[in-house]
Each structure stands twice: as C-alpha cells, then as structure tokens.
Amino acid sequence: MTTPWISVGELKMRRGLKDPLGRHDSDPLFENVIKVACAAVERFTGRGRLLLTRYDKRFCGDGHDELFLPHVPVRTVSQVVIGDAPIVVTTADAFYTGGVSGSAFYTERSVTRLGLWPRGKANIRVVWEAGYATPGDVPEDVRSATIALAVLLSKEAERYGDQQKDLGGVSVQYVRNLEGTDRIALYTFRDWGRAMVEPGVEVNPPVELNP
C-alpha cells in the first residue's frame, strides 16, 4: 500500500478548511482521498512508489552498456548478477574519482557496465533502492500537484459519497484534468522517469523502507 507524502492538514489548507489549531488533521474521508491521490500519481507517472523502496528484478540484456531502471531516482544498487555471476558495482562519483574499482557504476537512472550487457532473456538481476527518503523530499511541484489532485477528489467524494463513488477508477483521469503548473509538473515528472525502459521481471516484491 502506498504511503502518502501529503497530509490532511495540507489538503485542508489548500481548500481553505484548515483549523489553525490543528484540531481536524484526522479525517477518514480526506485520509482515503489522499491515499487515492498518491496512488494515482504513482500510476500515472509509472515511477513505482515515490517513497524509498527496495526493488529486485531481472532484465533482458540488450548488448548495450547502459541498463535503464524502471524505478527512479536510484539511491543505491546493492546487487547485480549476470547469469549466476555477481559483479562489483559502485556509484558513478566513486568510480570516476578512482576511489572504488568495479565493473559497473550506477546513476539516478541506470547502471552502466564497463563493457556490454550480454544479450539474453532475464539474464541480469538488479537489486536497488529508489525513491525519496521522506515525504518532504518528494519534489515540491509534485507534492503541490498531488494536493491539487486530492482537492478534486475530495470534492468528488463529498458530492457522491466516499462509498458510492469509485475514486480509484477515476483518479488517473483527474490527473489529466489538472491545469497549469500542476499538470505540467506531473507530465514532466513522468517523462523524466521514462527512457527506453524495460519494466523487468519481479524476483521479490517491492519493500517500502519507510512505511
């Protein structure tokens, strides 16, 4: 389940409902809306979970030196195995400064091998952590757009009733209905995470590291 990166207080503040004493920061309807809004942003952007999560997947080697990962920004890469043979991976900074020797290095988006990834079907396994350590680390324009989406969904929930309206079914469409900078922010965030990225085959389920 997605851990939200915006709060009931922030949503109520945007809607002009904020109690200055903070007495109404617990609200089941708004809490549900926030979860739906955050999940919708994750689905729309295709970035996986925004908060820090460990992924374990296999990819098909394509004969190039750079392997783009589907969940970014990459924070650490703990394991890379080609076939059954582990290889040494380090950060790009450490590699370029000569501080650590290795056969591959990673950046925020990819793992680059010194040589080529051998062609094969699901022959490369990568275990890595991606996302943001805390809700406050999520880019501010993405947080703002998520709050704007939650505003739309909360009004919809109040109009039709939380139990009568399938918010999850309409939430991604609401992303497309955002206006101005909020809409641009989510499209830009989505496109930055895209490259010619293979989704990979899951070895183990994702594990959120700061639920």
Please check whether residue 15 is in contact with residue 27, taking contact to mean a CB–CB distance below 8 angstroms. Answer: no
Q: How far apart are CA 101 and CA 22, in angstroms?
A: 52
Query: For residue 25, is pLDDT > 70?
Result: no
Adjacency order of strands within the sheet including 104-106 = 66-68, 110-113, 104-106, 89-91
Q: Are strands 110-113 and 66-68 parallel, antiparallel or unpaired?
A: antiparallel
| 53-112 confidence digits (pLDDT tens) | 999 999 999 899 999 998 889 999 999 999 999 998 988 887 777 655 668 999 998 999
Q: How far apart are CA 35 and CA 12, in angstroms?
A: 15
Q: What is the pTM of this model?
A: 0.82
- pLDDT of 171 reads 60
- pLDDT of 163 reads 45
- pLDDT of 79 reads 95
- Domain ranges for the chain, please list them: 8-49+139-193, 53-130
| 126-161 confidence digits (pLDDT tens) | 999 999 999 999 999 999 999 999 998 888 777 665
